[in-house]
Each structure stands twice: as structure tokens, then as C-alpha cells.
Amino acid sequence: MTPARTPLIAGNWKMNTTPAEARRLASDVIHAVGDPAGVDVAVCPPFVSLHAVAEALRGSAIALGAQNLYPAPSGAYTGEISPTMLQNLCRYVIIGHSERRAYFMESDEFINDKVRAALEHGLTPILCVGESLEQREAGRATDILRAQTTAGIAHIDDVAPIVIAYEPVWAIGTGVAATPDDAREGISVIRETIADARGHGAAESVRILYGGSMNPQNVESLLAQPGVDGGLIGGASLNAEQFASLVRAAAQQG
Ligand code: 13P
């Protein structure tokens, strides 16, 4: 029997909003989303806004996430943020986003260090994987997904708490989401990879989200695919009404 996986809709605000704007957006999101039944909801603002947003979210059903961490508890790492700094503030932390892989040269090994550091500190990692357009056109999408997933969960016995986001790079911020078939296919490659590495039961317990130009028009067809357990939302998460309509779509499918 497949254990029920609660869908997750998470907003990745990326490098947007000042603390004052973030506080306002968080309040608007609480208002628009309300108390959704059967779906987990999170917002991931920039580091400097975590405190303001944590205060705004207090007492609401919406959880807080960070967008990154450095995999050491403290030390001489100028400009970095540790899991101990985040652990009492956040529930989630996005790790290995393609923008960090591309612009900050994050390797699979470094990303795995971060996933393990998050888990060791009680944070739920949202591990991002996804192929670029070039890799897809070269017929390498499956290999890339398998490699990034395998490396991301390396040395971790209990993978159940990990959330994975399938974010094809070509769909991020382009307005061109993956087709529902492509999203289902990518996610099934990821789940099979987990099953090969850690067994079927483990694979069935991991939530796998789709991310990349998800919006109120395409959300229903994407979430209707078997194995798609929610969404990691960029642009549409900066608009409280749009974000709330994605949450409602997930609640309806749940
Ligand atoms: P968009 O929804 O803006 O395409 O961004 C997706 C994303 O990168 C979420 O992490």
C-alpha cells in the first residue's frame, strides 16, 4: 500500500522583497491562503527577511523555509548562514537550486553535505534536481536526474524526511512549464532512483514536487499526474492571490 503523502506547496521568493515587503507579502499570503486542509504550505524568503516573516506567520498554518545553508555549525565562513542559525526559525531549507548550481558552482558533493547538515539539525531539505535544455536535447535528462538524485541522497540512511523538487532548468522563469507528461516522467525517474538506492518503501515515502513556471493555469494538470506531490513556486509565489490558488488546487487534489 502506498503511504499517503501530504502535498506541499512551497514558495521560493528567491532574491526578492525587502524585509518590510516580505512581512507584507507574508500577511497577504496568510489572508489569501487561510487554513488549507490536507496540504502543507511554506514560504522561503531571503535570509534577512526570515525573522520578519517568522513573526508574521506565527499562529498561521504556513511554515517558513530558507533558501540555502552552509554545511557547518559555525566558524570562519564569511557571509554564510549555518543550520544552527536556521533550526529554530525554519522548518524547510531549499538546497541545490539550479541557480546555485549554475551561478555559485555548487557541486553534487557539496549539495549532499548541505542535505545531511539540514537533516542533522532537524530541518527538512527541499533538494532540487533538474536537467538543462542542452542536457535534455542531448538525450541526457534521465542520466542527469539519476546522477543528481543519487549524489543528493548519498550517505543518508533514512531518506523519508527529504523533499525533492524536480525543476527542469529550461522551465524555470521562462513561462514554459514542463508538460504534465514530462513532469510525471521526470518525477518517476527520481522515484525509481530512490527505490534502486534505498528500496521501494523509502521511495514511496519521499515527497517529490514539480517546479518551473507553475501557475494558476497549469497547476491542476501538473498536480493531477501520479507521483507529483506538490510544487516549488518562484514567480507566482510573489503574488499572494496566485500562490493561494495553487494551494487551493493542491487541496482539491489531496
Ligand atoms: P518559477 O516558478 O519562477 O519558474 O521558478 C521556479 C523555481 O525556480 C522555484 O524554485
Each residue of 179-199: pLDDT tens digit? 999 999 999 999 999 999 999
Q: Write the CB contacts of 108 (distance below 8 Å, at least 6 apart in sequence).
A: 96, 147, 148, 151, 152
Mean pLDDT of the chain: 97
Q: How far apart are CA 64 and CA 49, in angstroms?
A: 11
The answer, yes or no, to whether any atom of ligand 1 lies below 6 A from the CB of 214, is yes
Distance of CA 1 from the midpoint of ligand 1 (Å): 32
The answer, yes or no, to whether any atom of ligand 1 lies below 6 A from the CB of 162, is no
High-pLDDT (> 90) share of the chain, %: 97
Task: Let me know if 97 is a catalytic residue.
Answer: yes
Number of the ligand 1 atom closest to the C-alpha atom of 213: 4
Among 13, 14, 170, residue to substitute to test ligand 1 (most atoms within 8 Å of Cβ)? 14
pTM over 0.95: yes
Calculate the CA 222 to chain-centre distance: 16
Q: Is 227 helix (H, G, I), strand (E, B) or coil?
A: coil
- Residues 152-183 have pLDDT tens digits of 999 999 999 999 999 999 999 999 999 999 99
Q: Which of 51, 80, 97, 155 is catalytic?
A: 97
Number of the ligand 1 atom closest to the C-alpha atom of 174: 4
Q: Residue 254's pLDDT band (boundaries 50, 70, 90)?
A: low
- Residues 8-64 have pLDDT tens digits of 999 999 999 999 999 999 999 999 999 889 999 999 999 999 999 999 999 999 999
Q: Widest CA span of the chain, in angstroms?
A: 48
Q: What is the DSSP letter of 76?
A: S
Beta strand pairing call for 163-166 and 207-211: parallel
The C-alpha cell that represents 186 in the structure block: 521526470
